[in-house]
Structure 1
């Protein structure tokens, strides 16, 4: 079947969902032997960076499904997957869904003690570990370890059970939040919810001109990772999934840049932390000419990082002679979260773009957004900050084994994302902070830490990254700590430090500047981050309070 007709057929078939994409592609006549999906690690003797065809992918998935079936895993059985490689995540995701089981995907960077506690709360039917997580066998997991991820591909694909036929409401994955404010929460996704945006947007929008090769640096264990893989498979794109995700805890910028030069992708997917890691490098020294699009989800990306990325790469422009590659790429910023399932907002930046200051663009057509005053339940007017509330077919049904958290996040029929935003008169939305991080300074003044960080990065060139922590003390007063990570070669002399601190205070504004307790230059390692590389401000605030109480 031609790719255009195949995309239309998949979009219109209500049976297609996140749990059965390889099956549905085969049933709709997709080319079984075209190269489709690869990984940065070997798969059952197939070398790293080798693209598997749909036929090979299906066979490798069937082998794993048979292995799990022999272990007694079947319909509705949750299975925890604390593994590192993207290959182990996705192949076992597809295999467990073939059985109607529920893969509980776990970021490989989660500390072992946290991972053990998380698995116990899942109350799962079994656990699969890899060499990096073998020590979990020594913990009380509340479930048996079924084996090592390296064993799962040894099953007999010819003996695999028939593919389970999913209903739209069936759970197809449990993923987890980044844990920036607490222990990661287990979020359940359904067959329909995790495919809704692919159906509504990715299969109906215009297909890019020419060959599409995508590099996913997203955490494979995240909902966004699953969505990107499914949309690539359905659209007939080639996709390579990296296990390295970017972020200061990995120093993976070099790995990602090396992969871009080797793989020559037209598009790169990542989180905001990925771009921060890339921005620490001199991108002009690397061959990034193949990249037309950088696509971001999760947190809003920083202007300072976006401008460095759109300055490299290339894009197509049309002339009398046809399509011509010219310098400069696009950056597609899409604000989302685990619970949202798929980003609800998007904005595209190019060379010369000037709509920044944490503008996240406009909502997708499938997303109904309201900015609410939670005291009155009413929508706030344009220009006023409110709590972001969302109705969308992409929303996760709730939290696994935690109905209290599920219902607590709902308000007047909406899901509360935990974000503070405002809308301008033109209908563009701006993200100012997480509700848990913002501080009311009184007299109508608020300290929005994320917005402060955005402006510090944009206005002080020698600051590469930063974190603003605002804490209300026991006496009701507010203290603010500003932690700066400087660019390599930045002047750290007394004069430059004094000038930099003055610029920080001016950027924060008078009301916030009065709360500043310290402005300190730190290293990347001084930041407390979660599994996906996001700064855990809640933990850092608690640490600062504890130090203050002990006079340090």
Structure 2
């Protein structure tokens, strides 16, 4: 058996028991209302030079809920939220819940085809979106008549602040388009009124969060109120956060990390959430200096960009007492470099859209071990109430140390995918999530992520996991970012190719990097091809898009291994 057991050094872990939630906190709305009652004057959102208190957030979301209900929104209906990291996103969530419905979190980078798919798939009855996104994209999608959207409410990134930072904020504010309602105007008209509706139940859908689609068509994970509550509590109890803390909102709010580890956590704690519309390293660094937040969780790519932007990193990052990173693997060399520059050790955390973010994490104050064989940094140990197993291809548990697919069960796991019964049955047999991530557990209970199951490269019958090759290449001083994929090869079937971006001012020829890898790993693993690129393509959450790289044609700067291709 490799099911996680109690470890003596983790005294506060309760095997098989979830984080203890308050009796009145079985929905996200109950969680928020308890915070309003406890601290109505506490700042809930810091947005550039603007502040929104918990009480004001309550009033604004009441107004939105009233507008939705007056427009025909009914219990169980969906409000699509197509907004950046703005106060409007949080108001949209709360307004949907207060109207008895659910929110649909939509990536604001999505274009017309993607937006239409998500609106149609979710059956959203209403849409809250940025005025600029409505003008440029959503208006034509709605006009085409292939969605169920009946009500459109627009908001502006200029609302709730007065600084108008032109690096990230569009100016001027756009007037409300024909056929749409303006959120700020509606809040003023309905200020002080409360909606009368049956509140959501624990098993009701709170948010449909769509998978990133890096391995196929996006599916809507049904994040219920209760599974989200457990995700929020796991963050709070694992990290020991209190209302005296504040959260730096680096992760996109539409993503499960931002949704639970930023918005949900701050609603639970009644503590400030610092937002900057979108991730811009210099703007985010200004917010870090000005508002002095104490906690953040973000993709490693975003954290390293912040460190690169700072000319006084130790000083700039000094308010952050807890930093976690998830969404993409961390190479040990990258973590070491970040700590050397900022003085902060990044704790690993692991989770999925389908688990309301965290299932594993490095305990606060501990350092994640590095597997001596693969060089992978541990993703941590299971959080409260989480049961994690490693399964072979037949669905049987692997022995300790053996590589297989990570499977997870626990109170934070969603019940399935929206309107996808067959895919739900395949991904959640018996309610246990088959993650598609390949990894193993060591004898001390630490879990390691090897790679995505679908990203494995088969080179002449040998299995090559991109993550191991990437971690090795990250130790080369010239490399800034790297992604490894398998590409067709007439001799091997597949061969290993690395896409590399270099550190500012650094130079390295593809042949040099091939030779470096060849000198440090088995012959079947090292990349035969290296392509130097300016930037690697990423999702909005900072996850590198390997599939896009696999499908891209070779560019200048590709260096094949010339001499011993068949070794």
Q: TM-score, normalised by structure 2?
A: 0.81
Contact 2:238 2:383 (C-alpha < 8 Å) held by counterparts: no
2: CA distance, partners of 1:91 / 1:231: 15
Structure ranking higher in strand proportion:
1
2: CA distance, partners of 1:467 / 1:275: 18
Provide the aligned length of Structure 1 versus Structure 2: 498
Contact 2:332 2:370 (C-alpha < 8 Å) held by counterparts: no
State the Cα deviation string for residues 367-391 of structure 1 (Å, max 9, x = none): 101100122x211112211000010
Q: Name the structure 1 match of 2:503.
A: 487
Moved more, 183-192 or 534-543: 534-543
- Asked if 1:137 is matched to 2:139, the reply is yes
Match of 2:353, SS? coil
Q: Name the structure 2 match of 1:462.
A: 478
State the Cα deviation string for residues 204-246 of structure 1 (Å, max 9, x = none): 87456x942221211111222232323223224322133324x
* Moved >6 Å (runs of 4+): 349-353
2: CA distance, partners of 1:301 / 1:242: 25
In the superposition, relative to structure 1, how do residues 302 and 255 fare at CA in structure 2: closer, same or farther (>3 Å)? Answer: farther
2: CA distance, partners of 1:294 / 1:335: 13
1: CA distance, partners of 2:140 / 2:240: 51
- Asked if 1:302 is matched to 2:331, the reply is yes
Match of 1:182, SS? coil
Match of 1:359, SS? coil
Shift in Å, 1:364 = 0.8
Q: Name the structure 2 match of 1:505.
A: 518
1: CA distance, partners of 2:467 / 2:426: 24
In the superposition, relative to structure 1, how do residues 408 and 471 fare at CA in structure 2: closer, same or farther (>3 Å)? Answer: farther
1: CA distance, partners of 2:382 / 2:237: 18
- Output aligned runs, 1:200-211, within 5 Å: 202=236, 206-207=240-241, 211=244
Match of 1:226, SS? helix
- Asked if 1:17 is matched to 2:27, the reply is yes
Contact 1:292 1:330 (C-alpha < 8 Å) held by counterparts: no
Q: Name the structure 2 match of 1:451.
A: 468
Match of 1:107, SS? coil
Contact 2:437 2:453 (C-alpha < 8 Å) held by counterparts: yes
- Output aligned runs, 1:214-229, within 5 Å: 214-228=247-261, 229=263
In the superposition, relative to structure 1, how do residues 358 and 471 fare at CA in structure 2: closer, same or farther (>3 Å)? Answer: farther
Q: Alignment partner for residue 349 of structure 2, among 326, 329, 334? A: 334
Q: Alignment partner for residue 550 of structure 2, among 531, 534, 541? A: 541
State the Cα deviation string for residues 503-543 of structure 1 (Å, max 9, x = none): 13334531123xx442121111xx33334332222233234
Contact 1:76 1:101 (C-alpha < 8 Å) held by counterparts: yes
1: CA distance, partners of 2:348 / 2:493: 36
Shift in Å, 1:111 = 2.7
Q: Alignment partner for residue 278 of structure 1, among 297, 301, 306? A: 306
Match of 1:379, SS? coil
Shift in Å, 1:303 = 2.5
Contact 2:310 2:316 (C-alpha < 8 Å) held by counterparts: no
Q: Name the structure 2 match of 1:241.
A: 275
Q: Alignment partner for residue 441 of structure 2, among 423, 433, 444? A: 423
2: CA distance, partners of 1:378 / 1:54: 48
Q: Name the structure 1 match of 2:387.
A: 368
Shift in Å, 1:94 = 0.4
Shift in Å, 1:349 = 8.0
2: CA distance, partners of 1:160 / 1:296: 39
Q: Name the structure 2 match of 1:149.
A: 154
Match of 1:510, SS? coil
Q: Name the structure 2 match of 1:387.
A: 405
- Output aligned runs, 1:378-417, within 5 Å: 378-411=396-429, 413-417=431-435
Tell me the C-alpha RMSD between the 2 structures: 2.9
Match of 1:195, SS? helix
2: CA distance, partners of 1:463 / 1:504: 12
State the Cα deviation string for residues 461-502 of structure 1 (Å, max 9, x = none): 11000110113568871122211100011124x6xx543331
Q: Name the structure 2 match of 1:266.
A: 294
Match of 1:300, SS? coil
2: CA distance, partners of 1:85 / 1:413: 32
1: CA distance, partners of 2:20 / 2:437: 34
Contact 2:39 2:270 (C-alpha < 8 Å) held by counterparts: no
Structure 1 stretches of 5 or more lacking a match? 1-8, 41-47, 246-251, 314-327, 546-552
Q: Name the structure 2 match of 1:323.
A: none
1: CA distance, partners of 2:256 / 2:355: 9
Contact 1:421 1:431 (C-alpha < 8 Å) held by counterparts: yes
Structure 2 stretches of 5 or more lacking a match? 1-18, 156-181, 555-567
